[in-house]
Amino acid sequence: MATEGGHGPQTSGDYIQHHLQNLQICKLENGEWAWNQCAGNPMAINVDSMFWSVLLGLIFIVLFGNAAKKASPKKPTKFQALVEIIVDFIDSSVKDTFHGKSKLIAPLALTIFMWVFFMNLMDLIPVDWIPELSKMLGMATGYEQLYYMKVVPTTDVNITFGMSISVFFLIIFYSIKNKGLSGFLAELTLHPIAPTFKGPGILVAPIIIAFNFILESVALLAKPLSLSLRLFGNMFAGELIFILIALLGYLQLPLHFGWAVFHILIVTLQAFIFMMLTVVYLTLASEEH
Amino acid sequence: MDINATIIGQSIAMIIFVWFCMKYIWPPLMEAIEERQTQIADGIAAGEQGRKKLDNANIESKKILDDARKQATNILDQANARATEIVSDGKQDGLKEREHQLSLAKNDIEQETNKARDELKEQVSALAIASAEKILGREVNEESHADILDELARKL
């Protein structure tokens, strides 16, 4: 628990607030770049989230890229065997769901799974370690803005939204690619109530189409929204509980351990769910139903 | 907790990572896995084939062994038959030879006997003449009495 900080005496509220605040950078109205004065600025960037997210993504890329580069079918190293287990697991999960041929979906699933897994895993590092280190580093180097440091990227809704929006565009892309633009629009407008174009029914057809469109658009938009909010909600809640436990003094030790053990499950499960739902959504987008 | 430009940054990062994974990570790993899978399948198939070959070879060797055994028995039988044949042939030859020798010996004996008889005859006739000379007191002219002597000799 951080009781002494550079910014005056801390209450529990301050402590929690400190842990939930991103390190942000944005351009002020006067044209200057400023740190941590960006509340409500839509062009602000959460530097800590981006830093850790990209770092963890790079760790994934380097680890797996290395294994892929040295991959030999005859003499696999132990690390290659581990990577192959993961790859094979992802491959079989994808093949169970997605029956078409796509060069993108399996690597996409692997990247999402490992990346989200690594980002979630940051939650298991005790909540004060990296923020305190960052604070000390900031003090030592004069970059006082490093006072704020959120280390779990998936507890930042921007990060999860950033991923689910990419998935959302992929869903639309796959829908149009496999069903054509007309097929995609038909799916949006001719379900779930089929309008009639014969006889007097044609009079109500526009109303039905408008109704269908609203319904289907909500269903379509709910996909990325639920995808990102599920991950964000789970990780944010987990992180918050870690922060609350950290406020408890010595009692935190057994509690922290218990919650961390439980969190291992959530970390893996949420990564898997994010990956699996992505695959399912893309499958739905590319198959007639 | 506000929505801000981090979304864009994260999306770009994700696109780059996914692209990299699609291009440089997934294909070689999949290739390695699939190659190993085919190698394992090939190995199992080769093992199966080897076992089948071994079974075939076992059957073949058994057949060859059986044939050889049969042949050996045949040869043995033939040899036995030939041996008995040779023994019986030898016996017959021996018998023949014995007969032959026996007949030769008989001839010899007969000849000897005849010869001895002739000699005996001559000696007897000479003796008879000598005794006759003594009896008659004169020398019998062999030439003038040859016919008598010959007759005598023939009668003897």
Interval A213-233: pLDDT, tens:
999 999 999 999 999 999 999
Per DSSP, which regions of chain A are E strands? 4-5, 8-9, 24-27, 33-35, 45-46
Q: Are the beta carbons of A165 and B11 closer than 8 angstroms?
A: yes
Question: Across residues A231-249, what is the average pLDDT?
Answer: 91
Q: Are the beta carbons of A122 and A152 closer than 8 angstroms?
A: yes
Query: For residues A1 and A279, which has the higher predicted lDDT (pLDDT)?
Result: A279
- Chain A, residues 141-170, CB within 8 A of chain B, namely 156-159, 161-163, 165-166
Which pair of tokens denotes residue A282?
Answer: 């893309």
Residue A145 pLDDT exceeds 90: no
H/E stretch holding A160 reads: helix A157-189
Q: What is the DSSP letter of B140?
A: P
Residue A135 pLDDT exceeds 90: no
Question: Which of the residue ranges A35-39, A180-184, A206-210, B64-68 would you say has the lowest mean pLDDT?
Answer: A35-39
What's the pLDDT band for A1 if we cut at 50, 70, 90?
Answer: very low
Which pair of tokens denotes residue A54?
Answer: 């990209």
pLDDT exceeding 70 applies to what percent of chain A?
96
Q: What is the DSSP letter of B23?
A: I
Is A84's CB within 8 Å of B39's CB?
Answer: no
pTM value?
A: 0.76
The answer to whether A234 is a known catalytic residue is: yes
Question: Across residues A264-271, what is the average pLDDT?
Answer: 94
CA distance A149 to A130: 8
pLDDT digits (tens, 9 = 90+) for B46-62: 999 999 999 999 999 99
Entry field: residues in chain B: 156
Residues in chain A within 8 Å Cβ distance of B22:
103-104, 107-108
CA distance A273 to A266: 10
**CB pairs under 8 A, 24+ apart, for B114-119?**
none
Is A50's CB within 8 Å of B9's CB?
Answer: yes
Q: Are the beta carbons of B20 and A169 closer than 8 angstroms?
A: no
Q: What is the pLDDT of residue A118?
A: 95
Does residue A33 sit in helix, strand or coil? strand
Which pair of tokens denotes residue A273?
Answer: 């769910």
Distance from CA of B66 to the nearest CA of A (A): 45
The answer to whether A158 is a known catalytic residue is: no
Which pair of tokens denotes residue A265?
Answer: 């499950």
What's the pLDDT band for A5 if we cut at 50, 70, 90?
Answer: very low
What's the pLDDT band for A275 if we cut at 50, 70, 90?
Answer: very high
Q: What is the pLDDT of residue B1?
A: 60
Distance from CA of B53 to the nearest CA of A (A): 27
| Domain region containing A124 | 2-286
CA-nearest of A62, A83, A63 to A72 is A83
Is A157's CB within 8 Å of B3's CB?
Answer: yes
Is A64's CB within 8 Å of B6's CB?
Answer: no
What's the pLDDT band for A2 if we cut at 50, 70, 90?
Answer: very low
Number of domains in chain A: 1
Question: Across residues A257-266, what is the average pLDDT?
Answer: 92
pLDDT digits (tens, 9 = 90+) for A85-116: 999 999 999 999 998 888 899 999 999 999 99
Whether ipTM > 0.95 holds is no
Which pair of tokens denotes residue A195?
Answer: 């309008």
Nearest chain B residue (CA) to A69? B28
Question: What mean pLDDT value characterizes chain A?
Answer: 88
The answer to whether A102 is a known catalytic residue is: no
Q: Which parts of chain B register pLDDT below 50? A: none
- Chain A, residues 50-89, CB within 8 A of chain B, namely 50, 53-54, 57, 60-61, 64-65, 67-69, 71-74, 76, 80, 83-84, 87-88
Distance from CA of B49 to the nearest CA of A (A): 22
CA-nearest of A289, A232, A243 to A266 is A232
Nearest chain B residue (CA) to A228? B7
What's the pLDDT band for A3 if we cut at 50, 70, 90?
Answer: very low
